[in-house]
Amino acid sequence: MKKPVNGFSKLSKSEKIAWLAENHFSNKKEGVEILKKYWNADEKLQLLHDEFIENTISNFYLPLGIAPNFSINGKSYTIPMAIEESSVVAAAGKAAKYWSERGGFKAEVLSTEKVGQIHFIYKGDKEKLRDFFKNVKSTIDKATASITQNMRNRGGGIKNIELKDKTAELEDYFQLHCTFETLDAMGANFINTCLEKIAETFKEEAQKNTVFSAEEKDIQIVMSILSNYVPNCLVRAEVSCKVDELNGDKDISPMEFAEKFVRAVAIANAEPFRAVTHNKGIMNGIDAVVLATGNDFRAIEAGAHAYASKSGQYRSLTHAAIEGDTFRFWIEIPLALGTVGGLTRLHPLVKLSLEMLGNPSAKNLMEITAVAGLAQNFAAVRSLITDGIQKGHMKMHLVNILNQLGATNDEKKHIINIFKNKTVTHSSVIEEFNKLRTQK
């Protein structure tokens, strides 16, 4: 077992790498060389990346791709996507082209409310606490005025503060449930700063309150923190067309295609094991855009999956229906995104990604991102009910397999040609590769 290292954060980058190589790499020289290969030659740019997080030793690259031909609310978009998984970008682009010929995507932001909570313990008379809360609201407003001024000037700020009795779930547990409007900002720092000031004021005023007993004055603030569950920061995206306009793919008629599609989505809504994979496919598209635009994909993931469970069972985030002669497919999903703050003004590729999208507002970005998720899901379900998911995915994965085998460009071309009309499996690719090398 390695001994703990003291003062690691104070070491220089080179010293950190030297320690890492000495203690964790079997081939020290090769390990250091690989790390340095991924450094940016532009020292200023590398320093910018180094300062995004702590204890930086190198850069971990993800491919940045683009999915063109998206028509959203009558406007054309080329969507940037940062992701490592084969076929995601291709599937999104294919779905975009498909729906651009059928009226495009429609998207609408339904609400933009974000949430923060102050969790505290109070032992005493509940009615006294309610009265105190009503009286202290104006004091809280004054205490947070300097923090919220700029946001309020732009139409945002603290929207509401509500006292919630949670003692049925946990003894003596109460919370201040706060809602915010942060406009184009992601708002995490703004919300958390407000919450800490509210908590401080709430506790100080409680200690001054002459109605409270000594025990009631001793309100214990457990924590003050934003929530990544934002069911009222909601966006809707959808596509629709006449059933007859759905090309059925091979031997399947448009109506049969529509019926199978609706049934597949209904299964994801009814069966949690299917719903998880179904929604994971949606997040392939959403996360890729969120990452490319410098937003927090972990927060988006957590909020989306919580929303999928709001009924008490984990369900599909998308819905499909045949209404008369019309096929409809839509998604409603919480997306707390920002185009100001964080990496949006720091990371050069994030800035380019936002420029690619026409420097959208936070609301526009919510719409674009929801559409990417819907497109991804359409492509996946379409594949599942026709050719199966592996045919397209493994074709895209073929190059990865060949790269693992160390194939040359000529060998790649030869083997890709072999599998043009043949099912790709890992073992069959290895077999063809070995056969080619043997022939040589």
3-state secondary structure of 66: strand
Distances in whole angstroms, Cα of residue 167 to Cα of each of 119, 124, 126, 268: 12, 12, 10, 35
Contact of 335 with 366, CB cutoff 8 Å: yes
Return the bridge partners of 225, or none. Answer: 117
Q: Is 85 a catalytic residue?
A: yes
Runs of H (alpha helix) within 70-228: 88-100, 126-153, 188-208, 214-217
* Sign of the torsion angle spanned by Cα atoms 12, 16, 21, 25: negative
Measured CA to CA, the distance from residue 290 to residue 82 in angstroms comes to 8
Residues 6+ apart with CB under 8 A from 227: 115, 116, 117
Choosing from 119, 217, 363, 393, the catalytic residue is 393
Choosing from 50, 205, 238, 296, the catalytic residue is 296
Q: Is 431 a catalytic residue?
A: no
Measured CA to CA, the distance from residue 325 to residue 327 in angstroms comes to 7
Measured CA to CA, the distance from residue 418 to residue 412 in angstroms comes to 10
Measured CA to CA, the distance from residue 338 to residue 184 in angstroms comes to 5
- Rg of the Cα trace of the chain? 27
Contact of 285 with 88, CB cutoff 8 Å: yes
| Among 272, 251, 285, CA closest to 379 | 285
Cα 93 versus chain centre, distance: 19
Measured CA to CA, the distance from residue 70 to residue 80 in angstroms comes to 11
Choosing from 208, 280, 310, 426, the catalytic residue is 280
Q: Is 169 a catalytic residue?
A: no
Distances in whole angstroms, Cα of residue 84 to Cα of each of 67, 280, 306: 14, 14, 25
Choosing from 85, 196, 271, 411, the catalytic residue is 85
Measured CA to CA, the distance from residue 162 to residue 192 in angstroms comes to 16
Q: Is 296 a catalytic residue?
A: yes
Contact of 319 with 330, CB cutoff 8 Å: yes
| Among 206, 208, 191, 188, CA closest to 340 | 188
Enzyme catalytic residues: 85, 280, 296, 393
